[in-house]
Amino acid sequence: MTVGYRDEWALAGHLEPGNEVLYLAEVVILKFNGMLLDRHFDAERRISLLGAKSTVEKTAGEI
C-alpha cells in the first residue's frame, strides 16, 4: 500500500488482517511478464525494497 500527497511525499506499508480503512481504499494489481524481481536492503531507509533484479552479479567485496 502506498499513500502519497501530490508530488511532495509518499508513505508505503502493508495492510494486515484487522486493519481498518476509514475512508477509501483503491487497489491496483499489475501483472509483470519477463521481469525478475528481487529485494535489496536500503540502508538510508533501513528497509528491504522490492525492485528489478540486477543482471550483474556482485562479488562479496562489492556488497
pLDDT in tens, 4-61: 777 777 777 777 788 887 777 777 777 778 888 888 888 887 878 888 887 665 555 5
Angstrom distance (rounded) from CA 62 to CA 60: 6
pLDDT value at position 28? 77
- Vertex 28 angle, CA 25 and 22, to 5°: 5
The reply to whether 23 falls in a domain is: yes
Structural domain count, the chain? 1
The reply to whether 60 falls in a domain is: no
pLDDT value at position 9? 79
The reply to whether 45 falls in a domain is: yes
Angstrom distance (rounded) from CA 15 to CA 37: 21
pLDDT value at position 57? 57
- Vertex 57 angle, CA 43 and 29, to 5°: 65
pLDDT value at position 32? 72
Domain range for 37 is: 2-52
C-alpha cell at 42: 536500503
The reply to whether 17 falls in a domain is: yes
The reply to whether 22 falls in a domain is: yes
The reply to whether 19 falls in a domain is: yes
The reply to whether 63 falls in a domain is: no
Please tell me which residue, 42 or 62, carries the higher pLDDT value.
42
